[in-house]
């Protein structure tokens, strides 16, 4: 058994569980979307159940960071599952693997681990999954709040403290989410590009070692790109500023820092991005 796992027995079947994800994520700005997410998870009566919010926005606007920060706000452990077009129902739930003695060992996914432990599961980029995978989650996403694992022959009920959040990129869908699932993933919370002051705070939070002149340049670039409806995000800005800082360090500061920044923008986003520079 790995040091990163624990075990639980359900109806006589032993299941290996994973440990929570721990990242130095902090949510900066857009307090209203954080409040909206926390409200969706709130239970206001003994007959009430939490909702299954969907965070929608362009790649890099901070959807996963927001969900993680919200989970930490309510002191819940966080389990992140990265969805792909190849995700199978057993990947989402419980997977049988061969142990070192040649027998079958059952391993719970991040989702099922969160269900059992009463944590928060973030299904990242959920619109990359096929309908078959979504169908396996249907009973979990309504008042039943359980999953059925065919491979392990188990029905697993969610802990009362279990919460789930699904992130979706609004321009990178691989599969259409089925309507019967769509109705279970509510409310829809939209994340837009941050304002200039929020982008600066995010850059400073992530790059406290980078000079403010560089950060100001990057924020101005991003704001011009936003006004032109480009899809560049603060994640791109972080990569641009980080690489420019590395280049300047490698050159011992003996270079035109604005030229280095323009080069960093082109190397990060392509030649077309240069039109949004000063």
58, 138: one domain: yes
214 and 255 both lie in a single domain: yes
> What pLDDT is stored for residue 278 in this prediction?
76
Residue 71: its pLDDT value, please?
A: 95
Q: Beta partners for 149?
A: 154
The reply to whether 63 and 179 lie within a common domain is yes
The reply to whether 181 and 214 lie within a common domain is no
Q: Is 202 left (phi over 0), alpha (psi -120 to 50) or beta?
A: alpha
Name the nearest CA neighbour of 113 among 72, 154, 80. Answer: 80
In this structure, the answer to whether residues 28 and 166 fall within a common structural domain is yes
Last residue of a domain, which of 134, 164, 190?
Answer: 190
pLDDT of amino acid 191: 92
Domain count, the chain: 2
The mean pLDDT values, 10 residues at a time, for the chain of 278 residues are 67 90 82 95 95 92 93 95 93 87 87 96 94 95 95 92 94 78 95 91 93 95 93 93 95 89 96 90
* CATH, residue 151: 3.40.50.300
Residue 249 pLDDT: 93
Pair (226, 241) in one structural domain: yes
Final residue of a structural domain among 175, 190, 205: 190
Check whether residue 157 and residue 213 sit in a common domain: no
Phi, psi dihedrals of residue 118, rounded to the nearest 5°:
75, 40
Q: Is 42 exposed, middle or buried (0-12, 13-18, 19+ CB in 10 A)?
A: exposed
pLDDT at 93: 95
Whether residues 171 and 200 fall in one domain: no
Looking at the structure, tell me whether residues 221 and 174 fall in a common domain: no
Paired tokens of 19: 């440990």
**pLDDT the model gives residue 26:** 79
- Verify that 205 and 141 share a domain, yes or no: no
Beta strands in the chain (DSSP E): 5-10, 13-18, 54-57, 78-82, 94-98, 104-108, 120-124, 146-149, 154-157, 163-169, 188-190
Its domain, for residue 269, covers 196-276
Judge if 101 and 179 occupy the same domain. yes
Same structural domain, 39 and 92: yes
pTM over 0.85: yes
pLDDT at 100: 72
Look at residue 63 in the predicted model and tell me its pLDDT: 93
Pairing type for strands 5-10 and 13-18 reads: antiparallel
**Residue ending a domain, choose from 137, 160, 190:** 190
- Look at residue 20 and give its three-state secondary structure: coil
């Amino acid at each position: 058994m790995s040091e990163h796992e624990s075990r639980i027995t359900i109806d006589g079947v032993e299941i290996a569980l994973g440990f929570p994800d721990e990242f130095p994520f902090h949510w900066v700005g857009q307090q209203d979307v954080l409040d909206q997410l926390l409200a969706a998870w709130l239970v206001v009566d003994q007959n009430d159940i939490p909702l299954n919010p969907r965070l929608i926005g362009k790649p890099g606007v901070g959807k996963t960071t927001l969900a993680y920060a919200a989970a930490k706000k309510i002191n819940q452990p966080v389990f992140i599952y990265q969805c792909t077009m190849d995700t199978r129902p057993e990947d989402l739930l419980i997977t049988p693997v061969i142990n070192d003695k040649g027998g079958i060992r059952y391993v719970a996914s991040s989702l099922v681990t969160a269900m059992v432990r009463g944590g928060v599961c973030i299904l990242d980029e959920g619109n990359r999954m096929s309908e078959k995978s979504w169908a396996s989650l249907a009973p979990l996403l309504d008042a039943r709040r359980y999953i059925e694992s065919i491979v392990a022959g188990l029905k697993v009920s969610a802990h009362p403290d279990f919460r789930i959040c699904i992130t979706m990129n609004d321009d990178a869908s691989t599969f259409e989410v089925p309507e019967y699932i769509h109705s279970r993933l509510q409310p829809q919370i939209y994340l837009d590009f941050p304002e200039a002051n929020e982008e600066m705070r995010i850059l400073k939070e992530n790059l406290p070692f980078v000079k403010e002149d560089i950060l100001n340049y990057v924020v101005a670039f991003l704001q011009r790109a936003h006004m032109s409806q480009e899809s560049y995000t603060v994640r791109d800005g972080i990569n641009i500023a980080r690489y420019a800082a590395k280049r300047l360090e490698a050159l011992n500061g003996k270079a035109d820092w604005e030229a280095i920044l323009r080069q960093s923008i082109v190397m990060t986003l392509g030649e077309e991005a240069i039109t949004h520079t000063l």
